[in-house]
Amino acid sequence: MSDKPRVGVVTYPGSQDDRDALWALAALDAEAVPVWHAEAELPELDAVVLPGGFSYGDYLRCGAIARFSPVTAAVSEFAREGGLVLGICNGFQILCEAGLLPGVLLRNASLRFICRDVELRVERDDLPFTAKCAAGQTLVIPVKHSEGRYVPPPDLDPAQVVLRYVDNPNGSVDDIAGVCNARGNVMGLMPHPEHAVDALLGSDHGALILASLVGAATDRARPRAQDAA
């Protein structure tokens, strides 16, 4: 068995960035595993990524229907057991609707679709998703969304804010671009790290987040590799 960590990427009907996420994870030396939305059980995985796109046409509210997908129940169970789950853009919206992350994402204050690089400030570098970043560091990663205005619950613990926009593009409360759950094993962000893993494409700062995830997944994969040996 390969000693690479196995990172699943879920494809919902309407997912769009699943292939980019698979490519980026493989480029960062993970075994990237496609996971279909109809699967009620996950294969053996060390981490899961919910990619961007427009799952179920974004009907009703973004992420509201994907919450009922068989795979979302499996991902929830995986997260409850402490598994690493990263939601990007629509994946972030799904994690919020599924109750795995606090808050909700609404139409951009400008009502415009925004597609450009943004600067992000790293608030926490002690998470499996940010271990290769430094607190206070500025990352350049693109956003592309119409519904990225984050509204936290009134009781959000500020320690759950992982990333903030340097120049808020969408009206998010407190400039929040990414949050984690209290336990720190589930994170969501609106910017797309999978689109920023090669300097040739503008920035490779997204690789810091995805490589952090792959690194944390490697630590979790190691016991299994030893078992197999």
Partner 1 sequence: MRATVLVRPKPGILDPQGDAVESALEHLGFAVSGARVGKVVDLEVTASNPAEARAQVEKMCEQLLANPLIESYEIELAE
53 sits in the region (left: phi over 0; alpha: psi -120 to 50; else beta) called left
User: What is the chain's alpha carbon radius of gyration, rounded to the nearest angstrom?
Assistant: 16
* Cβ proximity of 86 and 165 under 8 Å: no
How many other C-beta atoms are found inside a 10 Å radius of the C-beta of residue 126? 9
Task: Give me the least distance between CB of 104 and partner 1, in Å please.
Answer: 5
Residue-wise burial string across 162-173, b where 16 or more C-beta atoms lie within 10 A, e elsewhere: bbbbeebbbbbe
C-beta of 98 vs 177, nearer to partner 1: 98
Cα–Cα nearest to 214, from 53, 9, 12, 73: 9
Note the helical H segments in 8-117.
18-27, 70-80, 90-97
In the complex, least distance from residue 96 CB atom to partner 1, rounded to whole angstroms: 9
- Closer residue to partner 1 (CB): 33 or 104: 104
182 is a site residue for partner 1 (CB under 8 A) = no
Letters for 111-150 (x = contact with partner 1 by CB under 8 A, - = none) are: x-------------------------------------x-
Indicate whether 103 belongs to the interface with partner 1 (CB under 8 A). Answer: yes
Q: Among 60, 135, 199, 201, which residue sits at the site for partner 1 (rule: CB under 8 A)?
A: 60
Segment lying near partner 1 (by CB under 8 A), choices 24-32, 44-52, 102-110, 185-193:
102-110
Is 86 an interacting residue with respect to partner 1 (CB under 8 A)? no
Q: Does 110 engage in binding with partner 1 (CB under 8 A)?
A: yes
State which residue, 136 or 153, has the beta carbon closest to partner 1: 153
Q: Considering only the stretches 25-33, 71-79, 104-112, 114-122, report the one whose residues sit in contact with partner 1 under the rule CB under 8 A.
A: 104-112
Answer whether 178's CB lies under 8 Å from 162's CB: yes
How many residues touch partner 1 under the rule CB under 8 A: the total is 16
Element (H, E) at 140: strand 138-145
* Smaller CB separation from partner 1, 112 or 222: 112
Residues identified as active-site: 89, 192, 194
Residue closer to partner 1 by CB (options 98, 122) is 98
Q: Which of 19, 61, 164, 224 binds partner 1 (CB under 8 A)?
A: 61
Sign for the pseudo-dihedral over CA of 113, 117, 122, 125: positive
Half-sphere exposure of 120 (CA within 13 A, CB side): 34
Helix axes of 18-27 and 206-228: crossing angle, nearest 10 degrees:
70
Site of interaction with partner 1 (CB under 8 A): 60-61, 64, 97, 103-104, 106-111, 149, 151, 153, 171
